[in-house]
């Protein structure tokens, strides 16, 4: 079969919708991974052993097993114990928790790097331990680790393609749908790649903007 890129434009809307879902699932999973990442980091560093160890086990499981398997487990496995999630939700939770574990590691190192005087300065004013962590330590830690977290978010965008296997009609799956109708895999995979690339450019620009705005200097 010869290459024929002229068929791509007729599937433009479909690819656009697929891109929209990719952006949506990436954004939702990114927010989840960030919030849970902070939570895990704080618990890992300050929490009582009773919660610290389960979290550590959880982190170890999510880091040591394939994301694809985790998605299968959440989408197909949980039904057996009565939790029937829509594919989109399962995808967000799987991607979100997976990257939360990586974000947590980075945020922990950010917290450790915050000067000890910051903690003392806040406690001296009368702030409690928790108030100090929430208002002084974590905000500084997070600002200092935006670049590596950003790299994780770019990885998340690319890994979001995996949720196509549980039936979320994001970019990769829409490309496959177009291919199943036209039998032109080269053109549509390439078109999808271009879409990913453009979304990635947008994400990188957003991250750079964020970095510039919250830059910390002492």
Partner 1 sequence: MTDKPFIDIRHAAKSYGALEVLKDISLQVRKGQIVAIIGPSGSGKSTLLRAINDLDPLTKGEVWLEDMQVNKPLPPRQYERHINQMRQQIGMVFQHFNLFPHLTVRGNITLAPKMLKRLTEAEANALAEKQLAHVGMLDRIDYYPSQLSGGQKQRVAIARALAMEPKVMLFDEVTSALDPELVEEVNLTMKKLAEEHMTMIIVTHEMRFAQDVCDRVLFMDQGVVVEEGPPEVIFRNPQHERTKNFLRKHLQGNAQ
Q: How far is the CB of 116 from partner 1 (least distance, A)?
A: 9
d(CA 39, CA 104): 8
Q: Kindly tell me which of 81 and 218 has the beta carbon lying closer to partner 1.
A: 218
By CB under 8 A, the residues from 36 to 95 that bind partner 1 are none
Q: How far is the CB of 115 from partner 1 (least distance, A)?
A: 8
Q: How far is the CB of 132 from partner 1 (least distance, A)?
A: 10
Q: How far is the CB of 45 from partner 1 (least distance, A)?
A: 18
| C-beta separation of 58 from 100 below 8 A | no
Q: Which of 8, 68, 85, 127 contacts partner 1 by CB under 8 A?
A: 127
Asked if 117 interacts with partner 1 (CB under 8 A), we say: yes
* Cα R_g (the chain), whole angstroms: 21
3-state DSSP of 106-169: HHHHHHHHCCHHHHHHHHHHCCCHHHHHHHHHHHHHHHHCHHHHHHHHHHHHHHHHHHHHHCCC
Q: Which of 22, 140, 164, 174 contacts partner 1 by CB under 8 A?
A: 140
Judged by CB under 8 A, the stretch of 61-69, 122-130, 161-169, 190-198 that binds partner 1 is 122-130
């Amino acid at each position: 079969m010869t290459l024929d890129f002229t068929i791509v434009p007729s599937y433009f809307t479909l690819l656009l919708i697929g891109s929209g879902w990719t952006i949506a699932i990436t954004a939702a999973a990114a927010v989840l991974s960030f919030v849970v990442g902070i939570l895990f980091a704080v618990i890992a560093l300050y929490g009582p052993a009773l919660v610290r160890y389960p979290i550590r086990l959880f982190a170890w499981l999510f880091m040591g097993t394939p994301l694809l398997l985790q998605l299968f487990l959440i989408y197909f496995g949980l039904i057996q114990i009565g939790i029937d999630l829509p594919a989109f939700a399962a995808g967000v939770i799987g991607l979100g928790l997976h990257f939360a574990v990586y974000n947590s590691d980075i945020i922990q190192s950010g917290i450790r790097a915050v000067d000890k005087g910051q903690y003392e300065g806040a406690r001296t004013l009368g702030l409690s331990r928790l108030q100090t962590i929430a208002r002084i330590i974590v905000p500084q830690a997070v600002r200092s680790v935006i670049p590596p977290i950003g790299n994780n978010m770019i990885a998340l965008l690319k890994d979001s393609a995996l949720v196509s296997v549980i039936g979320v009609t994001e970019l990769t799956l829409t490309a496959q749908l177009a291919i199943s109708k036209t039998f032109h895999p080269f053109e549509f995979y390439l078109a999808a790649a271009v879409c990913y690339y453009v979304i990635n450019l947008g994400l990188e620009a957003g991250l750079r903007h964020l970095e510039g705005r919250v830059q910390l200097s002492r």
